[in-house]
Chains A and B, each alone.
Chain A
Amino acid sequence: MTESQALVAPTSNQGSSQRAPIISARNVTMRFPIVKRYREMILHPFRPRRTCTALDGITLEIEQGDRIAVLGPNGAGKTTLLKLIGGLLLPTQGEIVVNGFDTLEHNSAARKSVGFVLNEERSFFWRLSGVQNLEFFGALDNLWGVELQNRITELMGLVGLEEAGEKTISGYSSGMKQRLALARGLIAQPEVLILDEPTRALDPVACDEFLELILGRIHRDSRKTLLIATHRLEEAVKLCNKVLIIDRGHVKAFGFLANLAKDKVTLLQYYRQALIAEAK
């Protein structure tokens, strides 16, 4: 067994193997085509486009209620993996099953179980208020009427934006937009919540408040399955119970954070070890 394989900790040794996985990825490969240059188009018009492999044969299972920190260097494939699980991308090979639905065959049904918190600040309509944005995105998630209004009121309260609901997005700070993105991700009460670098644009105070919000209110109240891509290790330690380390499209390590404390290893050491193991 190689060092990197040893880091991929089996999930069954924690007594949680009884639960069926809510997400399973089997041999998932994602290749992005590279646009042909004019020279290539003229010289080799029929040659297939070259591709860039973002994920290569990923296999993993995520259990209900897991809080997973997805770590890895820039360009490792973290966002691609999250988008594949969220059904925004479809795998080149392999299959991803979310809550029993294959994202390729039953994309809409699979997406029902997933709420996506995009880190893109511009993913809102800036000339609309926070509430109007949620009204629109709620309708896309099959909510309307009193049910939608009640849900919006509940969520705006949950993320602490009840006072700013009527303000247009252009007047929101980055932290407020991120909270609104969280409210949008939760609007259809998904079982899985995906957060892609949620604190990237936040100052330390806003970041801390955001983490408190996720841990204290979202996770404590609903026990949702969380997948959080991040570069901040302290964030991973604070929010998650498992860590998934990806590099160059491969899973380098996947295990319980609690095991690290038992082995007296810090997450930074574990992370470094996972990346170095591959380099060797």
Chain B
Amino acid sequence: MTALLHKSWAFITKDFRIESGYKLNFLMRIAESLMILIFFYFLSALMTSHNGGALGRYGGRYFPFALIGLAFARYFDLTLRMFSDSIRLAQVTGCLEAMLSSQTNCVAVVLMSSLYSLISGAVQLCVILVAGAFLFGADLSRMNVPATLLVVLLSIATFVAFGVLSAAAIVWLKKGDPITWIVGGAGSILGGAYFPITVMPGWLQKVSLVIPIRYSLDALRLTMLEGYSLVMVARPLITLTAIVTVLLPASLWLFAATIQKGRKEGTLIEY
């Protein structure tokens, strides 16, 4: 356990040192999110008189709805991509082989390579939410904090599971990872990040039932905007729990198997 903590810290420190060398990058990423936030703020001003029943479930105002959709959809998308991105970066920079020749298990190397992204993404998420609340007046005063935290953790676990699956696809296929394309790409449109799912045609609403971000965003909006308790968001929570329970061990097993296959075929460091 101590070794795991030391190694995790080594990865976080290493990535922080590298990232801090690109001085403007972090600020630029936050600025980019804030600019999108401004876009949605003005869009919501235009829509106030037409919010109708579609947003009624989430308090009736578009900006807080979009704020949560934007902030979390970006964070979950990062969670989905971080494993495959870190593998690909290590392959391209030539450091993967050096890390794999160490005494650290290959699966652990890949999982720990993504810790910094997870933390820096969480900082960005908080900055966006704070800016949305204090600069643009989104009302988060009714937030049920414990319920929100649990939904966030469960959602992260869900996207980590898909992320590991995506990493397995990258190890196997090198380029053209279908998991990110399906879960990330379809999720941004069908997951209800920027508009309520109820405005979509009936058949698309049915398709969105298999998009995991739909359940995360629904539960997060209800706990953050309406102060729902865990019992009140039980349905999306049960769905997320079921996905994590099945997918997380399965994706880890599959990832370990692809790594083993890569070692046997000598394709692990190819890109």
Contacts and interface: CB of A to CB of B under 8 A. Distances in A.
Contacts of B18: 125, 127-128
B94 A120 contact: yes
Interface stretch (A9-17, A131-139, A209-217, A227-235): A131-139
Contact of B100 (A88, A91, A132, A135): A88
Nearest to B21: A127
A139 B21 CA distance: 21
A55 to B, nearest CB: 11
Contacts of A137: 98-99, 102
B263 interface: yes
Contact of B14 (A111, A128, A141): A128
B32 interface: no
Contacts of A92: 264
A72 interface: no
B95 A123 contact: yes
Contact of B95 (A87, A124, A135): A124
Interface stretch (B37-45, B103-111, B146-154, B175-183): B103-111
Contact of B103 (A32, A54, A128, A140): A140
Nearest to B106: A107
B103 A112 contact: yes
Contact of B263 (A90, A118, A121): A90
Contacts of A91: 264
B9 to A, nearest CB: 8
A74 interface: no
Interface string A184-209: 10001000000000000000000000
Interface residues of A, number: 39
Contact of A141 (B21, B95, B102): B102
A30 B265 CA distance: 8
Interface string B230-253: 000000000000000000000000
A80 interface: yes
B229 to A, nearest CB: 42
Interface in B68-106: 93-95, 97-105
A249 interface: no
A188 B103 contact: yes
Contacts of A132: 14, 17
A135 B97 contact: no
A122 B92 CA distance: 9
A121 B7 CA distance: 24
A118 B98 contact: yes
A135 B16 CA distance: 14
Interface residues of B, number: 31
B94 A30 contact: no
Interface in B5-37: 6-7, 9-11, 13-14, 17-18, 21
B101 A118 contact: yes
A125 B14 contact: yes
A266 interface: no
Contacts of A142: 3, 103
B266 interface: yes
A259 B93 CA distance: 43
B22 to A, nearest CB: 8
Given A140-B104, A140-B109, A124 B6 contact: no
Question: Which of B11, B100, B260 has the most chain A CB atoms inside 10 A of its CB?
Answer: B100
A142 B263 CA distance: 22
A279 B103 CA distance: 41
Given A80-B266, A127-B18, A141-B103, A136 B94 contact: no
Contacts of A141: 102-104
B10 A140 contact: yes
A30 B93 CA distance: 26
Contacts of A112: 103
Contacts of B264: 89-92
A90 B257 CA distance: 13
A139 B268 CA distance: 22
A90 B3 CA distance: 26
Contacts of B109: 140
Interface in B109-127: 109
B100 to A, nearest CB: 6
B103 A88 contact: no
A112 B7 CA distance: 16
Given A30-B266, A90-B264, A108-B105, A140 B95 contact: no
Interface of A: 30, 32-33, 54, 80, 83, 86-92, 108, 111-112, 114, 116, 118, 120-128, 132, 135-137, 139-142, 144, 184, 188
The 6 A-B residue pairs whose C-beta atoms are closest, nearest first, are A139-B10, A122-B94, A140-B102, A123-B98, A116-B101, A144-B6
20 contacts: A83-B266, A89-B264, A90-B263, A90-B264, A111-B102, A116-B98, A118-B98, A120-B94, A120-B98, A121-B94, A124-B98, A128-B17, A132-B14, A135-B10, A137-B99, A137-B102, A140-B102, A144-B6, A184-B98, A188-B103
